[in-house]
Amino acid sequence: MVIDRIPLDSPLWEQVSACYSRRDAVESLRTVVATRQLGQAWKDLLGEALHQGDVYGISSAAIPHLVDLAPQLSVSDRRELWICVGLLIGSGADRFPSPPAAGLQEGLTSALRVAVGASVRDFLADTAMSASDAVMFAMACVSFARPWAGRDTLEAPYLPMGYVRGTCPGCEAGLEIDGFCDPFAPPCPAPDYQPTGTGGGPWSAVADSIDDVRRAGVLGAGWDDFLAVASRVARNGLPPDAPAPVMWCLVAAMLATRPVADAPRWARAVFRCAGHVRCPGCDLVWSVADVVAVPPDAHPVTVTDRVLPDRVLSDGVQTALLPAPAGAPVARVVPVATVADPVSGFRPAPGWTPRGVDVPVRIRWRAEAGAVDTVAVVPGRPGIVAAGTARAVTYWDLETGAAMGPASAGGAVALAAVAVADRHLLAVAGADGALRWWDPGTGRRIGRDARGPAPLVSLAAITMPAEPADRYRTVGWMSAISDGRTVLAAGDQNGAVRLWDSRTRNPLPQLFQRAGQPVLALATGDAVAGERHSHADLVAIFDDLTVDVWSSHSVHGQRSTMAPSRAKLAAAGHRHIVGAAPSVTPGRNRPMLLADRNGTTSMWETFGIRLTDPLPADPDHAPVTDVTTLHDSRGDLAVVTAGRNGLRVWYPHLGTVATIALDTRPRCLTTTGDRHNPTVIVGHDTGLLALALDQPVPTPGP
């Protein structure tokens, strides 16, 4: 007798394997089917059916029952069910390891055919899911039609965080590829695939939605060919010969059809799985899809950095398919510039130039102060702008630009406002290398000059966590100041970074040192308000391609071992970094922006992962002297750099850039105000300039 599934009361369940307990697994499945709810029994069932990528007999045997259950669930529960069943299929549950009765494999295959149409319809009708759920849901739909994903499904949620992990199919080296976070443009041409299927079935509606996205230009310029190949493969019913990169294109395109705010950003990230990566171990180039999933038939691709004669190509295009040698797999010719390096991630698209925007600018005030070399905003009522020149530090009213008199005699090379109790003090690194403290409220100096082993050249305030990260392991001096106070970080001419207690104005232990390399700049990403264990990061820039990161929650007090490496920085286009600026961006950790003298600007997680594509160098803007960040009225990040004749404003989320011409040379920058009133304070050759920036307006295309 042919059995299409195991009845829930059948003794055949005794022959089905589970991760921990067969009895508990079967009982959980019975409860889920009886209650028609995805409660605790559902979680228990998943724990028995999928563990660290492994599946069991219960995984395959439960799927037909779950497919039957889906129509009886709520929209959100159907979404969760399809995603979890997709994870099972991606891990191999589409095949029974050893069916306990004849006909069970056929029943499972039949259930998956039903799941294709049901899941696709639910996906298209579901408008309330998040972007992360949407990509997992899309992968499940594809897996039901044609199992292909393998480990890809487990890596997918991490793509928009900036990186994926994988294994080289050739030498089995572990690879980590970054550059996935909201790229500006594709890193390679779209896959050259022409499907030969016979009809789309339930996928025709998916193709129609993708075509709508193409017409609307949802993803921006450069992505149309990727959407086109996704539409073709859906229209032809997911042909069995479609390679994994093409299937990733389909998943990304499905994601782009969802009316979710982050869908375009996620979709562009997922499309990058159609790119290529070079393994530094064996020097072979692989499809990113193959590196993530490692299918048994993976093969390297051919790479060239020269234009090949038309006769050796199938259609005369450099990125076309080469004629396959007898008995060998077809190899793709990939331009070298489009190949990702695990060290540096994806390079910016060849020839990429950011789209232009117009930024409405309003001058709030001007002040003549002489050549300003460093500037800081001291919060309070009134707010104060402290401007450091070669001769003195002066105060200016933040709202009006009115002069408030000199703060101190003697030049300043760095300033920082430091919160102490209910007020802010101004820390001044003098031109003579000494550290001085001033009370802007009274105009009085506090204490005496303090000096370190070498002249101080950079300052930044950093807020300590409210309590130690680990009360029993945190080193004593770190534990003593982990009470929510703000301390001063100071970098000196000989590469040492030290903290100073702002309450006592005494030095604390040295954090680290790179002897002989002056600390050009310090920047801090502050803790997130309201998070008890939130920490702040201190970023130190030296006089070469060296970046250090120290966390205020460090247990041992030492700097991070995961800051961006010299190799990664150089690959992103950096040659001489001159400044850093932090930004707390929704959905990310605490990205830092690094600005190069040549105009290259890049965004990084402080643990060394590059986010989005770098803003390319600009000879007309170089040399760059400083960088700062702000958020516009919508809360979107804007990055401002000071260059030769003005400011360059970069909007990473839009892939756009604007130039603000000035009639004087800017030297230093800071920002103030909330997102409803963002203001850039510019220190320049003759004084100060306060600029209010409005939302960017895209420049009309040609």
pLDDT tier, 627 (very low <50, low <70, confident <90, very high otherwise): very high
- Per domain, the residue ranges of the chain are 1-126, 154-352
What value does the mean pLDDT take over residues 276-284? 85
Question: Helix, strand, or coil here: 605?
Answer: coil
Which of 13-22, 425-434, 627-636 has the least mean pLDDT?
A: 627-636
Any bridge partners for residue 631, and if so which?
A: 637
What's the CA gap between 290 and 65, in Å, rounded?
Answer: 32
- The long-range contacts involving 508-517, CB below 8 angstroms and separated by at least 24 positions, are 508/477, 508/481, 509/477, 509/557, 511/538, 511/550, 511/557, 511/558, 511/559, 512/548, 512/550, 512/558, 512/559, 514/542, 514/546, 514/548, 517/542, 517/543, 517/544, 517/546
**In the predicted structure, residue 40 carries a pLDDT above the cut 90:** yes
What value does the mean pLDDT take over residues 452-463? 94
Comparing 654 with 570, the larger pLDDT belongs to 570
Residue type, 357: V
Task: For residue range 350-359, list pLDDT tens digits in order.
Answer: 667 787 888 8
pLDDT tier, 153 (very low <50, low <70, confident <90, very high otherwise): low
pLDDT of residue 138: 94
Which pair of tokens denotes residue 113?
């055919």
pLDDT of residue 154: 54
**In the predicted structure, residue 452 carries a pLDDT above the cut 90:** no
Task: For residue range 669-697, list pLDDT tens digits in order.
Answer: 999 977 778 899 999 999 999 999 887 87
C-alpha gyration radius of the chain: 29
Task: For residue range 327-347, list pLDDT tens digits in order.
Answer: 333 456 777 777 888 877 777
Task: For residue range 299-313, list pLDDT tens digits in order.
Answer: 777 766 443 333 332
What's the CA gap between 325 and 378, in Å, rounded?
Answer: 70
Residue type, 458: S
Comparing 444 with 667, the larger pLDDT belongs to 667
What's the CA gap between 258 and 266, in Å, rounded?
Answer: 11
What's the CA gap between 514 and 494, in Å, rounded?
Answer: 7
pLDDT tier, 645 (very low <50, low <70, confident <90, very high otherwise): confident
Task: Tell me, yes or no, if the pTM score tops 0.85.
Answer: no
pLDDT of residue 484: 87
pLDDT tier, 577 (very low <50, low <70, confident <90, very high otherwise): very high
pLDDT of residue 527: 53
- Which H/E stretch holds residue 634? none
What's the CA gap between 78 and 120, in Å, rounded?
Answer: 11
**In the predicted structure, residue 397 carries a pLDDT above the cut 90:** yes
pLDDT tier, 198 (very low <50, low <70, confident <90, very high otherwise): low
pLDDT of residue 332: 61
Task: For residue range 460-482, list pLDDT tens digits in order.
Answer: 999 998 888 787 788 888 888 88
| 443 φψ region: left (φ > 0), alpha (ψ -120 to 50), beta (else) | left
Residue 338 carries which DSSP code?
Answer: G
CB 487 within 8 A of CB 499: yes
What value does the mean pLDDT take over residues 514-534? 76
Comparing 112 with 287, the larger pLDDT belongs to 112
- Which H/E stretch holds residue 332? none
Q: What percent of the chain has pLDDT over 90?
A: 50
Q: What percent of the chain has pLDDT over 70?
A: 89
CB 5 within 8 A of CB 111: yes
CB 187 within 8 A of CB 285: no
What value does the mean pLDDT take over residues 423-439? 94
**The length of the chain, given as a count of residues:** 702
- Per-residue H/E/C for 68-99: HHHHHCCHHHHHHHHHHHHHHHHCCCCCCCCC
Query: Mean pLDDT for the chain?
Result: 85
Task: For residue range 601-621, list pLDDT tens digits in order.
Answer: 999 988 888 888 889 999 999
**Angle CA(672)–CA(674)–CA(678) in degrees, nearest 5?**
60
CB 349 within 8 A of CB 185: yes
Task: For residue range 82-114, list pLDDT tens digits in order.
Answer: 999 998 998 889 988 888 888 899 999 999 999
pLDDT tier, 179 (very low <50, low <70, confident <90, very high otherwise): confident
What value does the mean pLDDT take over residues 223-242? 92
pLDDT tier, 68 (very low <50, low <70, confident <90, very high otherwise): very high
Comparing 580 with 261, the larger pLDDT belongs to 580
pLDDT of residue 413: 96
